[in-house]
Amino acid sequence: MSIPSQIFQKQKQNQSKSEIIWQYKSNEDNLSFIHQNIKRSIIIKQKPIDEQIIHLQTEIRKLDEEQDEITKEQKFYTKSQLKIELISLLKQSQQGKSIIMPEINQRIEKDNPELMFYVLKECLARDQNRELLLTEQQFSCGFDSLIGVYGDDQECFKFRTQEVQYDQLIENDMFRDQYLTQFRENVSKILNICTSEVEILDIKKGSSIILFKIKSIKDLHNISKSLQFLEENLNGDIEIFNYFVKVQEMEKQGLGLSRNDFDSRFNMVWDHLLESEKRGPQDHRYDYYFPKGCYGYGLNIIKYGEDQEWIKMNGNKNEWRIMFHGTKNWCVNQIIKTNLKVGENSFYQYQQCIDEFGKTVQVGNGIYFSDQFNVCFEDGYASPVQVQNKKFAAIFMSRVNPKKIRQSEDMKKKRYFLINNSEDVRPYRLLIYEVK
């Protein structure tokens, strides 16, 4: 087995000094990432199950906070694996229980949280073949690591070999570093790419399995000849491994959603009210259209701070406007726990509108809303989900900073509004609507 210095020595004739330094750094960073993952796994497994749960939550939060310490691909993969472990431990410890389906023919009421949670389960999980866990505490075990902000790319290469034993790679740091360095070098030579393009994600049992990415290759399914060439030269089997699909195919796992995410004091219905009424401060009066027919479940808004002038309905100067936002089913969990996120490539982004200073500006990218909740599902933004013989849509009732609303003339015709930044948006109630 060649040592790292010997491997990189061969490249010096054709590489500049800066390129050689970068190759060294890339290799050291990748080896350090693998070393830290192995160390973390060993530490966690030595703890009692309750402490494992706490430790995993801490590790997931640390991943969210890390900026440049690890690469995007390493973060995506690691976070998904940690959350799968956390969900499994929650079920083992009985800190999470599966939501039982209520009798769907019972009357839907604002004081019926079990039905609300079940509809959320269907909205969140049906397409993902997953099981929703209801917990009494807040655990970072949603599935945003698999979809949502991370897009659709959860694929990597899986290399299986009997040339080396798994225990050797885990227990002997020097041997592992040498083997993985040689592996990266061999892959780079075979594919005629820089070694920094080869990124090791994990080592798993099953003979020995190395999961890795090629940064410059976006479509893994388009390089079948290269895969065959890799197999012939690496002494092992290689395949495309989609770790999101593999999670789907496993025994159903859970998603975390806590009662602490909600505040039942603000549950509400509007059927006894008129169609609309005037709301807002004197300089931003507007028509507020009641979401009649919806059942509103209050969200916990403590994350927005102690000053709650924005949510009051007394016309104070800091009162924010009520708007409705429909979203894809798999985004609901993330929005409840964090906030709405700014989208890209807005259809109306280059159209003109008037800003809060009376200037003509472009609409730009942002978060879409309507002043009428039915627009959210009629225009396809909130996808109804089938629950037995009924259909339900989940819609966010939000407050938005009235000074930051953008609306072009074409948007007015559709009753669309846009806010450019998340800090000017505060979801505060989740609406469940039975679509007839």
Which of 188, 222, 254 is the endpoint of a domain?
254
274 and 227 within one domain: no
Mean pLDDT of 409-435: 92
The answer to whether position 110 is within a domain reads no
275 and 231 within one domain: no
Mean pLDDT of 341-358: 86
* Contact between 297 and 110 (Cβ < 8 Å): yes
Which of 205, 234, 254 is the endpoint of a domain?
254
pLDDT at site 36: 87
173 and 40 within one domain: yes
The answer to whether position 109 is within a domain reads no
Query: 83 phi and psi, to 5 degrees?
Result: -70, -35
pLDDT at site 332: 64
The answer to whether position 132 is within a domain reads no
The Cα–Cα gap between 395 and 427 comes to 10
Q: pTM for the whole thing?
A: 0.51
317 and 236 within one domain: no
Query: 162 phi and psi, to 5 degrees?
Result: -105, 5
The answer to whether position 50 is within a domain reads yes
Q: pLDDT tens for residues 108-139?
A: 555 555 556 656 655 544 444 444 455 555 44
Residue 153 has pLDDT above 50, yes or no: no
The answer to whether position 118 is within a domain reads no
227 and 338 within one domain: no
Cα–Cα distance list, 96 to 52, 86, 115, 130, 383 (Å): 15, 11, 18, 14, 27
316 and 199 within one domain: no
245 and 204 within one domain: yes
160 band by pLDDT with thresholds 50, 70 and 90 = confident
244 and 390 within one domain: no
Mean pLDDT of 169-187: 89
385 and 239 within one domain: no
Instruction: Decide which of 329 and 93 is more confident.
Output: 93
Which of 232, 254, 276 is the endpoint of a domain?
254
Q: pLDDT tens for residues 85-105?
A: 777 787 777 776 655 544 444
pLDDT at site 16: 61
Instruction: Decide which of 54 and 389 is more confident.
Output: 54
Which structural domain, as residue segments, surrounds residue 22? 4-88+152-254
Domain count, the chain: 2
CATH of the domain at 298: 3.90.228
The answer to whether position 139 is within a domain reads no
314 and 178 within one domain: no
284 and 224 within one domain: no
Nearest CA-CA partner of 57 in 77, 79, 38? 79
Residue whose token pair is 């003509």: 360
Instruction: Decide which of 41 and 12 is more confident.
Output: 41
pLDDT at site 253: 38
The answer to whether position 144 is within a domain reads no
The answer to whether position 342 is within a domain reads yes
The Cα–Cα gap between 246 and 22 comes to 34
Nearest CA-CA partner of 194 in 19, 394, 59? 19
284 and 201 within one domain: no
